[in-house]
Each structure stands twice: as C-alpha cells, then as structure tokens.
Structure 1
Amino acid sequence: MGASYYQFCPVAKAMELLDERWTMLVVRELIAGSRHFNDLRRGLPRMSPTLLSKRLQQLVNAGIVERRPEGAEVWYELAPAGQELAPIVTAIGNWGVRWIGELGDRDLDPKLLLWDMRRNVDHAALPPGRTVVAFRFPSAAPQVRHWWLVLTAAEADVCDTDPGHEVTVRVTADLRGLIDVWLGNRRWSDALRRGDVEIDGPASLRRALPGWFKEMAYASVPRPA
C-alpha cells in the first residue's frame, strides 16, 4: 500500500490503496473477465510482469482479489470487496469518455485494441467454421503493424504473428480511426466512407464484419454537447 494521507476520511483511506499506478487498471481487467496472469498481461501490455505480480499481491492482501491455485494454474477473481468496485470503474470510464480530450499518439495501442475487440466478439454472429481477420495498421511501428483475430463459435484469439490459416477478411485501418470507431466516437460506415478503414474480402463478409463485435462498454455513453 502507498503512503498514508493520514486522514480519517473514507475517500482518503480508500485511495491509499486504489490510487497506486496500475491498480485500478488491474481491477478493470478482472471486471472484464481476465482470470489468468497472462490474460491480465495482455490487457495491460505496458505493465511489467514484476509490477503486475506486486499489485495482484497487494490486492489479495487487501481482500479485494482472491488467488485460487488449480493444479498447475493460478486463477484470480474479485472478492466481494472487489466486485463492489465495478460500478465505480464504470463511472470513471463514463466520465473519461465525456470529459477527457483527444487521445495522444502514445495512447493508440493496437495490442490493447485487438485484445478488447477479441473479448467483445459476438460468436453467434460469426460465419460457420473458423474466421480469420487480418489487420494492418500502416502508420503503426513495424513490430505492431500486423495482427490476426482467429475466431470460432466458441473461442477467439489474438495473434501478432501469422497463425498460418487462410484469411477470411483483411482490414487496413488508420489506427486512430479504428480506435475512434471502437470507442463509439464514429460509426463504422463513416470510417469506411472516409477511407480510414478498408475491408477486403467477399462483399457479404465485408458488410457483416462490424456485426461480429459487440459494442464496446463505453461506446454508448452520451457525449457532452
């Protein structure tokens, strides 16, 4: 736990734990459904494994997270105290959508974008069999320019190297443009019309692709006038 504010106010006491760097984002990932260490890392790609381990242990010690060894694996789940943070995290996200200004270039992370899209796949809307969506972000750094989503009726995975399967649809996108679509700042149709997003493949699949993903959690938050 961080340094004390030495105030009896419950807000101050809560923030002694929760305002340490990355702590609330670890909670965010657990709320979103991540249960394993590696899944948490994929949702927090710029957090070091050492710091993630430290924050998880702090949350376990505080009674916010439960650590459950199962065979060779370890699961992390929110305890009741952690579950009560869910509406708080949602409220912070809603406020951020409404009042935080334009994203900086360093905020545009394709790894986080594809991981978030992966956990919002509408599996019932996918074509039969295996669907592979290849993404290319021409303006991104070479090492994070190419991504693949491998989707089936039961599973979804993100690959940063070619998985070797036949590609169903290819998406070429300006990274900022696709993130704007994902956040709900723009419509798919607008980004496609302006050329910020291009979809290559059979016409029926090009039209269907936006419907393969459920709306991101904050996409429907009303923006200020």
Structure 2
Amino acid sequence: MTSSYRQFCPVAMAAEILSKRWTLLVLRELIAGSTRFNDLRRGVPRMSPTLLSARLKELEAAGILRMLPDSAGPGLNEYHLTESGRDLAAVIEAVGIWGQRWIEADLSLDNLDPALLMWDMRRNLNTSPLPDTRSVINFIYSDLPDSQKNWWLIVEPTGSVDLCYIDPGFEVDLFVTSDLRSMTAIWLGLSTVGKAVAEDKVYLDGDQAISSHMQQWLGLSHFADEPKRAG
C-alpha cells in the first residue's frame, strides 16, 4: 500500500482509514442516523456522489459499515454502522468538541452553507415547544440568491420534520428573515435568537407563540453548549 504510514502504532493504522478527505464527515452523518445515500448527500452537500460512493465502499471494506437492501424499493441500499463503526461515535464527538473549543469563530463562520445548516436544523429540531398542529416555518436568507433564499421547515403533529427548498404550498406560521452568517452563528451557539433580534440581524413575523420559543425549538449544533476557548 503506497499510501501507508508503515507504522504499527494504532494511531497510524486508524489514520490510514479515517484521515482521507470527507471520511470523518461521512461518519458524522452515519452516526447522526442517516442510512440512505440521498440523506448522506444532504449532510455533505459539497461532496460528489461518486466520491461518497467510494468512501462508503472503503468503510464497508474496513468493517465499519455494512450495506443492506432498502425496503423502499429494488436496487436501493441502506448503510448501517457495525459495532466497529458505532465505536467511532466517541471519536467524532471528541473531534467536534475540539473544533468547537479551539477553532476561532470567524474561521467557522467563513464556511457557510445554507443546505447543510437547514439539514442540521431539521435533524436537531426540538418539536416539544411547538403547537400540536402542523407548523410551517419559512427561513428567508436575505443575502443569498433567489435559488437559495427560501427554506421551509414543516413540523407535523406526529413530530416528524420535513425540509423543503421549494414552496410546499402550506400557509406559513412564522417567517424568519436573516443573513446566513447570523443564523449560522446562532446554530453554532455563538449567538442567540434574542440577541440577534435585538441587533436587527434576525426578523420574526408570524405566530407569537412559535416566535417567542424559537431559541428552544431551533435545532442547534450538538456542540452549541461547548464554550469557545480560541482567541
């Protein structure tokens, strides 16, 4: 193997599998619960489908995941972590905590991606403060082109949450207008909804009960409670 570190050290051996570009992010998505190819793609939107497929095959060959037929239809697959893969959850957690603590906030906020931000919001959204009826929340990113400006979160009474980038046609309960940087800062725990509203960085228009509890229901980063130490 030409790319081998040629060291028996367990760190070197693990790095040969885990240090390839995108691999840790694919693992992050698998650990977060994504099992289907299209869902994995939404978690790594800038990764090409070809490279994602290659990384999944490499992880399967390493015994970190197994590919199983998807009951949704013939020719479709699901990807499930093995015991070895699940054991990497603590590794991904530790890397994320280190990044939240020690990567400067400005550097984090230089890497903005509305698709990833909204996908993570959908995944982490806390439905308990929301009404028992369908809630439709339209996020409007004022600094983005029209093709990326509007995103809809649809929260059903059952607790399921859907994300749309095409108008779903439902009446909107709350409009949230912001620039992408400000909303990303809230998601990372670097700011709060209240502070951003007070600074005129976020504008809320609609259902008062939903808007007043936004900080509670908004799906924040898993690492948002970890205080920054950099800088």
1:140-182 C-alpha deviation (Å, 9 max, x unpaired):
2332111111111331111111111111100001111111111
For residues 207 and 216 of structure 1, do their structure 2 counterparts lie closer, same or farther at Cα, with a shift above 3 Å needed?
same
What's 2:6 paired with? 6
What's 2:25 paired with? 25
Give the letter aligned to residue 217 of structure 2: W
Q: 2:79 aligns with which of 70, 76, 80?
A: 76
Q: 1:134–1:149: 8 Å Cα contact kept in structure 2?
A: yes
If asked which structure has higher relative contact order (CA below 8 Å, sep 6+), I would say 2
% identity of equivalent residues: 45
- Which sits farther off after the overlay, 171-180 or 206-215? 206-215
Q: Are 1:172 and 2:177 matched, yes or no?
A: yes
Q: 2:154 aligns with which of 150, 156, 165?
A: 150
For residues 2 and 190 of structure 1, do their structure 2 counterparts lie closer, same or farther at Cα, with a shift above 3 Å needed?
farther
Alignment: residue pair count: 225
What's 2:59 paired with? 59
What's 1:132 paired with? 136
Give the letter aligned to residue 190 of structure 1: K
1:31-51 C-alpha deviation (Å, 9 max, x unpaired):
111111110011111111111
What is the deviation of 1:59? 0.3
Distance 1:105 1:119 in 2: 20
Matched residue SS, 2:128:
helix
Q: Are 1:122 and 2:111 matched, yes or no?
A: no
What's 2:39 paired with? 39
Distance 2:2 2:42 in 1: 25
What's 1:113 paired with? 117
Give the letter aligned to residue 94 of structure 1: I
TM-score w.r.t. length of structure 2: 0.92
What is the deviation of 1:2? 7.8
What is the deviation of 1:106? 5.5
- Which sits farther off after the overlay, 169-178 or 215-224? 215-224
Instruction: Quote the RMSD (CA, aligned, Å).
Output: 1.7
Give the letter aligned to residue 132 of structure 2: P
Distance 2:145 2:70 in 1: 39
What is the deviation of 1:124? 2.5
Distance 1:202 1:96 in 2: 36
- Which sits farther off after the overlay, 55-64 or 103-112? 103-112
For residues 66 and 168 of structure 1, do their structure 2 counterparts lie closer, same or farther at Cα, with a shift above 3 Å needed?
same
For residues 2 and 139 of structure 1, do their structure 2 counterparts lie closer, same or farther at Cα, with a shift above 3 Å needed?
farther
For residues 2 and 141 of structure 1, do their structure 2 counterparts lie closer, same or farther at Cα, with a shift above 3 Å needed?
farther
Distance 1:13 1:205 in 2: 49
Give the letter aligned to residue 36 of structure 1: R
Matched residue SS, 2:5:
coil
For residues 114 and 215 of structure 1, do their structure 2 counterparts lie closer, same or farther at Cα, with a shift above 3 Å needed?
closer
Q: Are 1:194 and 2:219 matched, yes or no?
A: no
Matched residue SS, 2:66:
strand
